[in-house]
Structure 1
Amino acid sequence: MFLKQLEDKIDNKQAKIGIIGLGYVGLPILAAFAKKGFAVLGFDIDQSKVDKILAGQSYIKHIPSEHLLNELIDATTDISRLGEVDAIIICVPTPLNAHREPDLAYVVDTSYAIARNLKIGQLVILESTTYPGTTKEVMLPILSRSGLIVGEDFALAYSPEREDPANENYSFANVPKVVGGITPLCLNLAQTLYNHIVIQTVPVSSTQTAEATKILENIYRAVNIALVNELKILFQKMDIDIWEVIEAAKTKPFGFHAFYPGPGWGGHCIPIDPFYLTWKAREYDVSLKFVELAGEVNSLMPNYVVDKVGEALNNVGKPLKNSKILILGVAYKKNIDDQRESPSLKIIQLLQQKGVHIEYHDPYALTCGNHRHYPEINLKSIALTKENLHKFDAVIIATNHDQVDYDLVVEHAALIIDTRNVLGQKNQDIEKIIAA
């Protein structure tokens, strides 16, 4: 009865939506529900994020502040206010620990917090990327400690985020959303909710299937990125341009999808998901050698870039140690400010360990610090000027932002290591430009 009442409240937009975790996943969801006329309450442990939301200020570059200027939006650090909402969407981090094993501490802690405040007639949805089984095997037992029964007193579902920051063609609203529920009623409620804000919901038979769908999507990309990264290394030795090869191959109208090499992988999902699944596979005595190999190849690409930098400097008579290097871009992909798992961070760490003086320029990320796995990095973006460029022994193009004057870089940099093919064919005759 209570869950039927919740369905009616969702249909009539009378349900209040709680979003736990107001980062790159949670903030767009909060804005999307408010835009559609739902009252929303955001939760985050970071008081500065809460303060900015309450002031209508976005702290994520590709999300305009005007999306937050809505009287239906509220935010708090007080988790006890969960009792005010009808649906709870969890968007907390799911990182790896030092041994590349899943770290579900944020999910577990959030689940306990919800259990302490869970009330009859609430819907709980996990969006964080994780291994198949997390919702049912980890979250459900914790929520059940409340004494409430799933499918009768409360609903539990999983719906993986499909965010691609700064993608001009696809945003949260026009990407189909996969949904799986613990029970059919749980699934129906989650679909009913998301149908208000996305173009299409895609129901699947279980939360495990929904979790596996997200893992498959990202492992597909991880494996193909590893393939082109490995081929890049080979083709460079064969004096073949991998970028030219890819451009030619993608003219085939079937059976080929273009992936591009780079200095490594980045973002929260692709560097994380393969290791989540390989860890879970061990529970079933299965070794995912293909997936593990892809992870190994991609994880070692920053080392390859550093080796190329050392070779390039050596060829002009300069040692790597005590050299000065400028990194162009610390975000993990072009035209965003997201630095999560960025290969630039690993490159910076490796170079600093070799005694290199590092600075960086990134028009989207003005500061670089407070990273979980790179506590020693604490830098600020410098201006990209000819005077500054003359100070460095080499420049590494690590992120291919559009808002960078590459002509200025080519004219004034002493040596350029291009990991993104930004300079491309037109400058291949310039000896100081090194492909990496």
Structure 2
Amino acid sequence: MDASQSNYERLLERISARTARAGVIGLGYVGLPLATAIARNGFPTTGFDIDPQKVQMLNAGTSYIESVPAAALAAELASGRLRATADFSELSDCDVIIICVPTPLTKHREPDLSFIRETTKVIARNLRRGQLVVLESTTYPGTTNDVVKVILEGDGLQSGSDFFVGFSPEREDPGNRNFEVTTIPKIVAGNGPEAAALMKAFYGRVVKTVVPVSTTETAEAVKLTENIFRSVNIALVNELKIIYGAMGIDIWEVIEAAKSKPFGYMPFYPGPGLGGHCVPIDPFYLSWKAREYELPTRFIELAGEINSAMPRHVVARLAEALDQRHGKALSRSRILIIGLAYKKNVPDIRESPSLRLIELIEERGGTAEFHDPHVGEIPATREHMALKGRRSVELTEATLKSFDALVIATDHDGIDYESIVKWSSLTVDTRNVLGRLGLLSETVVKA
């Protein structure tokens, strides 16, 4: 090691030679695909997680994330470039440390940065000179500098000279076969010019396209903007669905016709509510931060209110259909939810509106079960602990006939929709999957 080199120069040299060890904290939907991609691109990589079962599974070559095939995981394990551990003291061996932990909301819909804070404190206890610490978790502008950097500087080391801090928002899209970690353009920013250069150098060797921005606050705002854009537009079509429905107009037909316009229009689609980690949560992060500047976010908050109200709209439509078609109250009905995941063809149930649908049905005295080919059992969740352990039921003729109504909440491929229409006495379709398949009948209601 050249003693005359600065911490920045030594780290840049190691990144350029791909001898820098990367550490990825949090091996979930974001962290595991990223760790695998980093290893595949030649960097020795250590994945860190507090769950010893996950660590054991990964080191045995078993993947629990669909976007990381077992063969791809096994290849990186066999190469020696990738391993998992629950021993966070090994962070001191890493040159680049990437934080991929959850950023949920509190019960009062305010940002919960506890995972970021606690993870950063662990890093601080193992921090040494010449490390780059990157936050990838979605958050409000200012978190990287005002929270992560401040904690890391607590023991006297200085950002920009002793160590370096950056932000690069994750852009995962579970179930999208057209993109994966390395083919999605990566926003990068650093706290200072050296950190920015290190961010560009590291991620430029992992992904195909790097998009540098001027500050970490800008990078944080990019992520929020992307998801608020989706939230607002989905809220718009959800509201239009209700309005047009009252007029006897099919919103799905309207959207299909409108998207024939080759300019000035982008199709978004209604549904039973928003799910996933980012889109339902990110607007509240910006709204909370905006209060610091005494600025209103009426448009964003209204979109959140509309989307949050959609499960109640679906249940109200279900109750109305049961009364009109069967003369039966929801309180005396058995309902089967088709699809527990928040989007099609994935096992991800984070913030899924299906969980809320089950709760609302049972609050009104009904009984609700679910079928999902990707989710066998409801795991423990912060907001829906009472549903833990419930299992997916099989779709058979006897099963379908035993329920008073079905609600299609997630339009997974591979579900036998023809049998659903044939054997169910009432189906409430929130995704227009039966319309797309030409299976509409007198027993089908759109919601």
Which TM-score bucket, shorter chain as reference? over 0.9
* Residue of structure 2 in register with 1:251 after alignment: 260
For residues 157-236 of structure 1, the aligned pairs below 5 Å read 157-236=166-245
CA deviations on 1:1-27 (whole Å, 9 max, x unpaired) are 122111111111101110000000001
* Per-residue deviation, 1:178: 0.6
Amino acid at match of 1:323: S
Structure 2 residue 436 is the aligned partner of structure 1 residue 422:
no
* Per-residue deviation, 1:427: 4.8
CA deviations on 1:156-201 (whole Å, 9 max, x unpaired) are 0000000001112121111111111111110110111111111111
Identity score, percent? 53
Amino acid at match of 1:114: I
Unmatched runs of 5 consecutive residues or more in structure 2: 1-5
Partner Cα separation in structure 2 for residue 403 and residue 52 of structure 1: 28
Which of 45, 49, 56 is residue 51 of structure 1 equivalent to?
Answer: 56
CA deviations on 1:291-349 (whole Å, 9 max, x unpaired) are 00000000000010111111111112111113111111111100000100011111111
* Residue of structure 2 in register with 1:26 after alignment: 31
RMSD: 1.0
* Residue of structure 1 in register with 2:3 after alignment: none
- SS of the equivalent of 2:362 reads helix
* Residue of structure 1 in register with 2:339 after alignment: 329
Partner Cα separation in structure 2 for residue 216 and residue 202 of structure 1: 16
CA contact (8 A) 1:418 1:433 kept: yes
Structure 2 residue 411 is the aligned partner of structure 1 residue 388:
no
CA contact (8 A) 1:427 1:433 kept: no
Q: How many residues align?
A: 436
- SS of the equivalent of 1:110 reads helix
Which of 359, 365, 368 is residue 369 of structure 2 equivalent to?
Answer: 359
Which of 321, 324, 342 is residue 352 of structure 2 equivalent to?
Answer: 342
Structure 2 residue 444 is the aligned partner of structure 1 residue 433:
yes
* Residue of structure 1 in register with 2:296 after alignment: 287
Partner Cα separation in structure 2 for residue 354 and residue 187 of structure 1: 54
Partner Cα separation in structure 2 for residue 371 and residue 306 of structure 1: 22
Unmatched runs of 5 consecutive residues or more in structure 1: none
Change (3 A) 1:306 1:112: same
CA contact (8 A) 2:136 2:168 kept: yes
Partner Cα separation in structure 1 for residue 346 and residue 291 of structure 2: 36
- SS of the equivalent of 2:307 reads helix
* Residue of structure 1 in register with 2:67 after alignment: 62
Which TM-score applies when normalising by structure 2?
A: 0.96
Change (3 A) 1:306 1:150: same
- SS of the equivalent of 1:376 reads helix
CA contact (8 A) 1:62 1:336 kept: no
* Residue of structure 2 in register with 1:139 after alignment: 148
Structure 2 residue 130 is the aligned partner of structure 1 residue 111:
no
Partner Cα separation in structure 1 for residue 190 and residue 437 of structure 2: 53
* Per-residue deviation, 1:35: 0.9
Greater CA deviation, 239-248 or 166-175? 166-175
